[in-house]
């Protein structure tokens, strides 16, 4: 993997991580379109640059994440809530780690998941109309756990962690803005744990040149993620999720055509 490929993949990560369109699916397709070899380092890089995206959330919502310094009770409740919500995905991800790694190589899985998820998003605003929870403080531990269970669906590449947790949030009667924001919050412990685990397993394979690519990739992902988060919140408040639904369906259909014609490998 060269510098240009690393930057392009990091841009894709930053743009798609917090949108309900699957960052993993987009990075898999981007790598194949760029002809990036499917090496252990490539897999490690696509996971490692999530650190930049995680940092973007912490910076964007810094008041939430330094809450214990201002109000220990409320702050600790926020962190425990995130831990409860992240637990299902962390446990299942650990148990199914090898199987998930196999799925990450499947473009066909990404294409099908994009289309299926797009169909669900197309009707989400009609399915969940009771927006009774407007503030994060109103989310109790049981609701947080159930949202975390929804997040587990995103272990299938192409589903989107953001999409599944947002759908879970709206199913628990969160407003669509709060559902999106809680999805961002939940990304921090979930992605930090998953990324840390992968890096601990594979750090011995990283050379000095690889470290430079990691640093540049994370910096790019951080900046792009900041912009994407701001755009997404404003867009969802005004327009809902239909645009992302149509995008997923079109993108998934194009991938299926490319696979059927042999332009891309499954």
Contacts 24+ apart (CB under 8 A), 71-79: 74/137, 78/136, 78/185
pLDDT at residue 203 greater than cutoff 70: no
H or E, element range at 188: helix 176-202
The DSSP result for 161-181, as a single string, is HHHHHHHHHHHTTB-HHHHHH
9 — pLDDT class (breaks 50, 70, 90): very high
pLDDT at 156 over 90: no
The alpha carbon of residue 217 and the mean position of all alpha carbons in its chain are separated, in whole angstroms, by: 16
Overall average pLDDT of the 72-79 stretch = 78
Residue-level pLDDT at 221? 94
Which whole number is the average pLDDT over 63-87? 82
**pLDDT tens track for 232-256:** 888 888 888 889 999 999 999 998 9
Out of 96-100, 198-202, 258-262, the most confident range is 258-262
Q: Nearest 5°: phi and psi at 210?
A: -65, -40
Given a cut of 80, whether residue 178 has pLDDT beyond it is: yes
Instruction: List pLDDT tens digits, range 92-137.
Output: 888 887 777 777 677 888 889 999 999 988 888 788 878 889 898 8
Q: What is the DSSP string of 121-138?
A: HHHHHHH-----B-SGGG
Which residue has better confidence, 183 or 25? 183
């Amino acid at each position: 993997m060269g510098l240009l490929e690393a930057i392009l993949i990091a841009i894709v990560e930053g743009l798609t991580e917090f949108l309900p369109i699957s960052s993993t699916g987009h990075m898999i397709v981007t790598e194949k379109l760029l002809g990036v070899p499917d090496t252990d380092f490539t897999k490690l890089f696509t996971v490692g640059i999530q650190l930049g995206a995680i940092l973007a959330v912490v910076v964007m919502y810094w008041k939430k994440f330094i809450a214990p310094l201002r109000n220990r009770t409320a702050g600790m409740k926020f962190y425990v809530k995130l831990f409860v919500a992240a637990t299902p995905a962390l446990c299942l991800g650990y148990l199914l780690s090898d199987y998930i790694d196999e799925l990450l190589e499947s473009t066909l899985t990404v294409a099908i998941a994009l289309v299926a998820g797009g169909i669900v998003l197309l009707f989400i605003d009609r399915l969940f109309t009771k927006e009774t929870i407007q503030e994060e403080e109103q989310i109790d531990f049981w609701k947080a756990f159930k949202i975390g269970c929804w997040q587990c669906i995103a272990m299938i590449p192409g589903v989107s962690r953001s999409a599944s947790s947002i759908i879970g949030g709206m199913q628990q009667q969160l407003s669509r803005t709060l559902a999106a924001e809680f999805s961002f919050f939940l990304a921090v412990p979930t992605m930090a744990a998953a990324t840390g685990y992968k890096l601990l397993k594979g750090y011995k394979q990283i050379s000095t040149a690889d470290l430079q690519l990691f640093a540049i990739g994370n910096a790019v992902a951080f900046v792009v993620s900041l912009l994407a988060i701001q755009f997404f919140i404003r867009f969802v408040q005004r327009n809902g999720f239909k645009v992302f639904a149509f995008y997923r369906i079109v993108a998934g259909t194009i991938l299926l055509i490319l696979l059927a014609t042999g332009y891309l490998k499954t």
